[in-house]
Copies of this chain bind each other. A is one copy, B any other.
Amino acid sequence: MKASELAARLGGTLEGADVELVACAGLEEARHGDLSFCKDPRHSKLVETTKASAVLLSSGWNGPAPHSAIRVPDPDRACMAAAKLFAPPEPMRAPGVHPSAIVDPSAKIGEGVHIGAHTVVEKGAEIAADAVVEAQVFVGEGCRIGEKTHIYPQVTLREGTVVGKNCIIHCGVRLGGDGYGFTTNVESDGTVEIDKIPQLGIVEIGDGVEIGSNTTIDRARIGRTYIGPMTKIDNLVQIGHNVKIKGYSGLIAQSGIAGSTQIGQGCLIWAQAGISGHIKIADGVQVGPQAGVPQSLDGSVKYVIGAPAESMKEFGARLLLPKMVAKLKAEVKELKAARRPEEVGHV
């Protein structure tokens, strides 16, 4: 698209060359043909060095002028609008069942549902209207998928899994795998018996939940592992059996929640954090990256960090320990040096 056409579409003004633009990118990663954007004068140096063919600038920008600039009231917002113009249309997932899909005759498929190539839908599964189940997905016996939910390729839903409406389930997500549960007995002759505890429950996902690639959520031992509405889960997250997340919470990549733990509403669990089993995290609590939470958090502290997790104040004090100890060491040395000779002998 010509810069002039883009400027017109974005309601902006072109300054400089009317270059051809094919994509959007940040100032540093942009290449020839890219449109970039800058609204912060502190980044004006990047406007000079960028390889972008044109840059979106705010109306009042008075930093360096690139080869080609489009002035707009809000460069951030204009960039998103431009990105939408450049982005190819999303792949069309037209209603219908691909002929290579294996759908059990007893499955109930709603109006407008798309079922992709090589997908398997087992006995008694129900897929509600306008849901999209892409290629190579496995939908086990008796699963229920809500309206307008979008399931990307190569997801597996083990038997009995329930997914709400307007959910987005990314590639490689595993819902309803067996929870980790075993009993270990040492027999009188010393042999060890390890028996599997049956995992008889299900996974239930509320409305508006998004689950990132390769995340795993285990079925309950009994009852339900429950992910409340509007919860947003990133990639490679582990959620154990019988976990209950109230809703409107976020779980960032590679975090893990052990079995039977309850997470309140509006919580945010940062990347690589780990939360022990059988505890409760109160509404609105944030658990920092790589934190380890061994005990329930009642919400009196809103942000915890470290392992075992503590308040920012406590964590900060711990970080300062080397300096404090070095200072103490110097002071003790001074005190020892200040003793009169005859004192030293006292001890």
Contact = CB atoms under 8 A, between A and B. Distances in A.
B276 A254 contact: no
Question: Which secondary structure dominates where chain A touches chain B?
Answer: loop
A23 B223 contact: yes
How many identical chains are in the complex?
A: 3
A183 B252 CA distance: 15
B337 A335 contact: no
Contacts of A252: 180, 258
B238 A238 contact: no
Interface in A14-46: 23-26, 28-30, 34
Contacts of A24: 200-201, 222-223
Nearest to A170: B177
Interface string A224-264: 10100010101110101010100010101110101010100
13 contacts: A25-B223, A28-B244, A80-B222, A84-B200, A91-B140, A91-B141, A118-B120, A170-B177, A196-B210, A254-B274, A256-B271, A272-B274, A321-B321
B235 A216 contact: yes
A168 interface: yes
A347 B334 contact: yes
| Interface size, A (range) | 35 or more
A292 interface: yes
A9 interface: no
Contacts of A272: 256, 272, 274, 292
Contacts of A172: 156, 172, 174, 214, 216
Interface stretch (A58-66, A67-75, A322-330): A322-330
Interface string A264-304: 00100001101010000000000001101010000000000
A212 to B, nearest CB: 6
A158 B171 contact: yes
Contact of A194 (B158, B200, B222, B248): B248
